[in-house]
Structure 1
Amino acid sequence: MAIEIRPITPAEATEYLRVLPYVNGFPQEEPEPSAWYAGSAAWPPQVQRTAAQLKQDAAELLSDWFRPQAAFVDGKIAGGSAIVSVQVTVPGGRQVALGGVTSTAVLPTYRRRGLLRKVMAAMLDDCRERGEFLAGLSASEATIYGRYGFSPATFQHRWEVRRTDVAFRSEFTDPGELELADGAVAAEVWPVLHEQVRAERVGEVSPLPGKWDGLAAGGLPADGSGPAHHLVHRNTKGAVDGAAIFRLPWSPDPARAGVLQVEAFEALTPDAYRALWALLLDFDLTKRVVAARRPVDEPLRWMLTNPRALKLSRTRDNLWLRILDVRRALEVRSYAATDSLVLDVADDLYGAGRWRLDAAPDGAACTATDAEADLSLTVNELGSLYLGGVRASELAYAGRIVERRPGAVRRLDALLRPDRAPHNAVGF
């Protein structure tokens, strides 16, 4: 069996696509309701791509931002994955290059042969060569990617609330204006709104090209959840400071009828946030609201007279991070305190290293050192800690960080403490 790992050529694009689950109709997501989907079914329905669709996909496949690698076995493509070039916002507000792993699969007849490990190593090497010191992905299965150094860094909630349970703690007069907009307006609003959001929100990623193109076209989704409706909030100057996308799927089952599904929601101000939710939670002829892709520190709960009205129905990891260059990664972000720690970081792919981190709110320096370590961890734990969404004390209690010097875990928590939980609503 001859194995070759390399980028594909334009002539091999269609063969590469046939390996991918969204093309060949094989499962691409665990058979459970997801936190990033507001519907009641498992996502997504599998529909094989037609020959005409495959031809169009193949023509659009190779670009500067999409870098596929394939595993060839005896000259045939048996598996593959790709890197998309995006940016992620890190603590301190910098937007840095991220190699986003996507479109990953190995044909069932070629599994358990180490093909994915070889493909992943080639892609991560490519990221390092291009200066991308962070890699990320959204895992369809949680047991796969830890072996390659990835670990969960952001999380999402899906929650629901009965309309009759909703009451706000205080009176509110919206100084702005709500608008039910069409898809054309939404297609203009969302790119601008998202750019403003990701400039401030740690963990948010830049959208792939064409992300918002489908809003203007409208149409019905494959899962039958009904057409998208667009709600826009404008401030007193007429500028958009919030928006939501929601659906009202029809169901003959009374238990599932009257559900308003919030598919996307962003607000730049407390006024826009409150006004948008006030309408969505009190929409006529509905009885329940389900919201997906929500941050774990959702402030809405604290605006309600009955905080138990907001019930979590799913929590799931979202963005997994892989640190490819410890020094550059630790120097580019900001810190909540001033301190110095020596970290012993193990990395099965790129080797162990001991690093002295001299951190402060206005900057940091990270240098290789032979000094005695304060903490020992692997690159997996460092990925989870990096955006501030996981505490070092949690991982230490779980036995995943070894404290070499008493108090070092507490000190690392103080350095990495975020203002808000990291969150990303846009994936790749």
Structure 2
Amino acid sequence: MAIEIRPVTRAETKEYLRALPFVSGLPQEEPEPSAWYAGAAAWPPQIPATDEALEQYVEEIQSDWYRPQAAFVDGKVAGASGIVSVEITVPGLQRVPLGGVTSTGVLPTYRRRGLLRKIMTAMLDDCRERGEFLAGLSASEATIYGRYGFGPATFQQRWELRRTDAAFRDTFDDPGSLQLVEAPIAAGAWATLHEQVRAERVGEISTLPGKWEGLGAAGLPADGSGPAHHLLHLNASGEVDGAALFRLPWSADPAQAGALQVSAFETLNLGAYRALWGLLTDFDLTNRVVAAKRPVDEPLRWMLKNSRAIKVTRARDNLWLRLLDVQAALEARAYAGAGSLVLDLSDDLYGSNARKWRLDAGPDGATCTAVSGASADISLTVAELGSLYLGGVSPVVLLHAGRLAEHTAGAVSVLDALLRQDRAPHNAVGF
């Protein structure tokens, strides 16, 4: 069996695409209600792409921002994945390059032969060569990518709220206005709004080209639950400072009827946030709101008279991170306080990371230096460091879970204070 891992030529692109789950019609998401979907279906239908769709995909991936990798076995494509070039906002609100792993699959007839490891290694090597010291992905299954050094770093929730329980604690005078608009207007507003949001939110990701095109049909639920509606909030100066995308599906099932499904929601300030949720949670002829892809520190709960009214119906990890150059990554982010620690890091793929690192960090910046002979304060793997990197996972939790070891008393508390963020990292868009 001859195995070759490499990018594909244009002539090989269709064969490459047919190895990807979203094209082949093979399962691509866990078979249960998802935190990223506000509809009633458990997961999208697995329908192979049409020839017309394949032609469109061929054109899309022949671009500078998409880097395909394929595993060839005896000359035939047996597995495939790709890297997209995006940016991520890290603590300190610096926006740094991220290699986004996407659309990964190995054909069922070629599984358990080590092809995925070879593909992943080739893609991560490519990221390192391009200076991308972080790689990220969204994992369809939580047991796959830890072996390649990825750790879950952001999380999301899906929640429900009955309209009768949605009373706010305080009245609110909105100096701005709400508008229902058509998709082309919403697309332009979202493009600008997201750029503003990601400049202020740790964990947020830049969008891929064409993200907002055809917004009215984007993300149409698998159960056919109706078209998107676009709601904007404008401040007193007439500038968009918030937006929501929602649907009002009809259902013959009384248990599902009357649900207003919110699949996208972003704001720049508290006023827009309060005004948008004020309308969405009290929309005429509805009985409940179902909101997907929401951050774990959603403020809405604390604005309601009944803080128990919001019921979290699904929670899961969202973005997984992998540090490819530990020194560059730790020096790129900001820290909440000052401290110095020696971290003994293990990394099965990159020996240049697997060493002891002295982190000298403060609010004004940090230096990360490889050291030898020094006693380690904390031992951990690169996967745990990926989870900690954005500040959304506490090292204290990982200590009690047995995922890292403390060799100097109090060292984990120091690391926790250094990494902590005021808001949970969150990414509303993926890749």
- With structure 2 as the length reference, what TM-score do the two structures score? 0.98
1:184 partner SS: helix
Aligned to 1:328: 328
Contact 1:221 1:227 in 2 (8 A): no
Residue correspondence of structure 1 range 341-356 to structure 2 within 5 A: 341-351=341-351, 352-356=354-358
Find the aligned partners of 1:423 and 1:92 in 2 and give their Cα distance.
15
Contact 1:393 1:410 in 2 (8 A): yes
Q: Give the Å deviation of 1:60.
A: 2.4
Cα RMSD after superposing both structures: 1.0
Q: Give the Å deviation of 1:398.
A: 0.4
Residue correspondence of structure 1 range 112-131 to structure 2 within 5 A: 112-131=112-131
Aligned to 2:98: 98
**When the two structures are aligned, how many residues end up with a matched partner?**
428
Correspondent of 1:425 among 412, 425, 428: 428
Residue correspondence of structure 1 range 132-143 to structure 2 within 5 A: 132-143=132-143
Aligned to 2:406: 403
Contact 2:156 2:317 in 1 (8 A): yes
Aligned to 1:394: 397
Counterpart of 1:409, as a letter, is V
Q: Give the Å deviation of 1:218.
A: 7.3
Residue correspondence of structure 1 range 14-413 to structure 2 within 5 A: 14-215=14-215, 221-351=221-351, 352-370=354-372, 371-413=374-416
Q: Any gaps of 5 or more consecutive residues in structure 1?
A: none
1:165-185 superposed Cα distances (whole Å, 9 cap, x missing partner): 111001111110000111111
Contact 1:331 1:366 in 2 (8 A): yes
Q: Give the Å deviation of 1:222.
A: 4.4
1:257 partner SS: coil
Change in Cα spacing, 1:219 to 1:242, as seen in structure 2 (3 Å) is closer
Q: Percent identity?
A: 73
Q: Any gaps of 5 or more consecutive residues in structure 2?
A: none
2:356 partner SS: strand
Find the aligned partners of 2:2 and 2:217 in 1 and give their Cα distance.
46
2:215 partner SS: helix
1:1-52 superposed Cα distances (whole Å, 9 cap, x missing partner): 0000011111100000001111111110010111010011112122211112
Change in Cα spacing, 1:173 to 1:116, as seen in structure 2 (3 Å) is same
1:421 partner SS: coil
Find the aligned partners of 1:320 and 1:244 in 2 and give their Cα distance.
26
Contact 2:216 2:227 in 1 (8 A): no
Change in Cα spacing, 1:218 to 1:392, as seen in structure 2 (3 Å) is closer
2:308 partner SS: helix
Aligned to 2:419: 416
1:170-223 superposed Cα distances (whole Å, 9 cap, x missing partner): 111111000011111101100000000000100000001110002156796543
Contact 1:335 1:360 in 2 (8 A): yes
Q: Give the Å deviation of 1:59.
A: 2.5
The farther-off stretch of 216-225 and 156-165 is 216-225
Counterpart of 1:94, as a letter, is Q
1:238 partner SS: coil
2:168 partner SS: coil
1:308 partner SS: coil
Contact 1:281 1:289 in 2 (8 A): yes
Find the aligned partners of 2:11 and 2:209 in 1 and give their Cα distance.
23
1:214 partner SS: coil
Find the aligned partners of 2:114 and 2:159 in 1 and give their Cα distance.
38
Q: Give the Å deviation of 1:56.
A: 2.3
Counterpart of 2:110, as a letter, is Y
Contact 2:39 2:221 in 1 (8 A): no
Contact 2:217 2:227 in 1 (8 A): no
Contact 2:40 2:223 in 1 (8 A): no
Find the aligned partners of 1:224 and 1:409 in 2 and give their Cα distance.
49
Find the aligned partners of 2:7 and 2:335 in 1 and give their Cα distance.
38
Contact 2:216 2:229 in 1 (8 A): no
Counterpart of 2:76, as a letter, is K
1:143 partner SS: coil
Find the aligned partners of 1:378 and 1:222 in 2 and give their Cα distance.
39
1:105-142 superposed Cα distances (whole Å, 9 cap, x missing partner): 00000000000000000000000000000000000011
Contact 2:13 2:58 in 1 (8 A): yes
Change in Cα spacing, 1:299 to 1:328, as seen in structure 2 (3 Å) is same
2:170 partner SS: coil
Find the aligned partners of 1:30 and 1:53 in 2 and give their Cα distance.
24
1:344-382 superposed Cα distances (whole Å, 9 cap, x missing partner): 010000121110000000100010011111000000000
